[in-house]
Structure 1
Amino acid sequence: MGELVDRVDEQDRVLGVVDRGEAIKHHWLHRVATIVCRDEEGRVLVHRRAADMSRFPGQYNFMIGGGAEAGESYEEAAARELTEELGVRAPVQFAFKYLCRGEISPYWLGVHDAVISTDITPDPDEISWHAWVTEDELREMARRPTFVADSVEALDRYLT
């Protein structure tokens, strides 16, 4: 069995524990925690997903993150993902969540903020390229077809 996640309902209440692959396959709602990373100058981290990722390979995104493990809060998942994907620890602050209908499958998306004040060491299995960009540069990048479609709505919500 793969990654275990909480299957949740339309109100984000836990229904049970399922394999994340099965949740995606059957379009069962589950939780995903993400982090918008900024540097001390306020720039946003943008990255390109590794080419062999199972979801959105080689596409660009402004959020770091992944599935919240069974029993894990959004904040706990965000902090774990930050360490796993960027090799850093930093306080994460919950910003908002919403029911994302998703290109591949629907899920509850919890978005967090973190200020990164140290060098990052991206996991090459997850991230093939990264850069710190201004919000204007980020808006421009998000208009390109190589940007993860699910994150475009999240960006609109995040910047308003």
Structure 2
Amino acid sequence: METWDLYDENRQLLNETMVRGHEVPPNRYHLVIHVCIINEQGQLLIQKRRDDKLGWPGAWDFSSGGSAIKGDHAREAAERETFEELGLEIDLSNQRPHFTINFENGFDDFFIVHQEVDIESLKFPTEEVEEVKWATKKEIHNMVKEGLFIPYRKSMVDFIFDMRIGFGTIDK
């Protein structure tokens, strides 16, 4: 049974929790993370979700993602989810999320990681991921159009690739 911490609308941690699969209570929010691993060629590591996975079965998605569990901060959740889904250890100890997307029931923190990964050597430790590959921005856009990728907004995919250079909104 997975338990999540709950937050108020200002992202203040409350002394409340909920069980995964239950409805998020009104005026309460939970924390989700995504990790986008980009290589030196500017390609994004993407994963294909298993066909029996709840929520977007068989669809391609960003490198890793999931909900923070009770006691997790965003960094810890991102490191844990990346290891759970890809068997890959990443160190985010000196990194903040590049951006956050607020959604109806929570906050989704996105981390962009620059790392070369030998995808042939990855071993998926859980039953969540079926396959991984490197993809360009154009390839991801085409996959979204074809219904193969989770239907993220085109502008969000563009933003991830644009933000791989660094923090902030000023292009230096």
Q: State if a TM-score over 0.5 links the two structures.
A: yes
Q: Are 1:23 and 1:30, in contact at CA under 8 Å, matched by a contact in 2? A: no
Q: 1:142 aligns with which of 130, 141, 144?
A: 144
Query: Tell me, what secondary structure is at the counterpart of 1:77?
Result: helix
Q: Indicate the structure with greater helix content.
A: 1
Q: Are 2:34 and 2:62, in contact at CA under 8 Å, matched by a contact in 1? A: no
Q: Could you tell me which runs of 5 or more consecutive residues in structure 1 were left unpaired when the two chains were aligned.
A: none
Mapped to 1, the partners of 2:27 and 2:146 lie a distance apart of: 27
Structure 1 vs Structure 2 CA RMSD? 2.4
What does the per-residue CA deviation read over 1:88-143, in whole Å, with 9 as the maximum and x for residues that have no partner? 11233421112123xxxx32100001233343323461111221011221222223
Aligned equivalent of 1:100: 103
Q: How does 1:1-160 map to 2 (within 5 A)?
A: 2-15=1-14, 16-23=16-23, 28-92=28-92, 93=95, 94-101=97-104, 106-119=105-118, 120-123=122-125, 125-149=127-151, 151-152=152-153, 154-159=156-161
Query: Tell me, what secondary structure is at the counterpart of 2:99?
Result: strand
Quote how far apart the aligned CAs of 1:78 are: 0.3
Q: Are 1:91 and 1:114, in contact at CA under 8 Å, matched by a contact in 2? A: no
Check 1:28–1:90 CA distance in 2 against 1; reply closer, same or farther (3 A cut): same
Query: Tell me, what secondary structure is at the counterpart of 1:139?
Result: helix
The structure with the largest alpha-carbon Rg is 2
Highest RCO, 1 vs 2 (Cα 8 Å, sep ≥ 6): 1
Check 1:13–1:27 CA distance in 2 against 1; reply closer, same or farther (3 A cut): closer
Mapped to 1, the partners of 2:143 and 2:44 lie a distance apart of: 12
Mapped to 2, the partners of 1:59 and 1:112 lie a distance apart of: 21
Mapped to 1, the partners of 2:24 and 2:158 lie a distance apart of: 24
Check 1:117–1:63 CA distance in 2 against 1; reply closer, same or farther (3 A cut): closer
Amino acid at match of 1:66: G
Check 1:24–1:61 CA distance in 2 against 1; reply closer, same or farther (3 A cut): farther
Amino acid at match of 2:102: L
Quote how far apart the aligned CAs of 1:45 are: 1.1
Query: Tell me, what secondary structure is at the counterpart of 2:98?
Result: strand
- With the length of structure 1 as denominator, give the TM-score of the two structures: 0.82
Q: Are 1:7 and 1:23, in contact at CA under 8 Å, matched by a contact in 2? A: no
* Residue identity (%): 26
The number of equivalent residue pairs is: 154
Query: Tell me, what secondary structure is at the counterpart of 1:21?
Result: coil
Query: Tell me, what secondary structure is at the counterpart of 2:36?
Result: strand
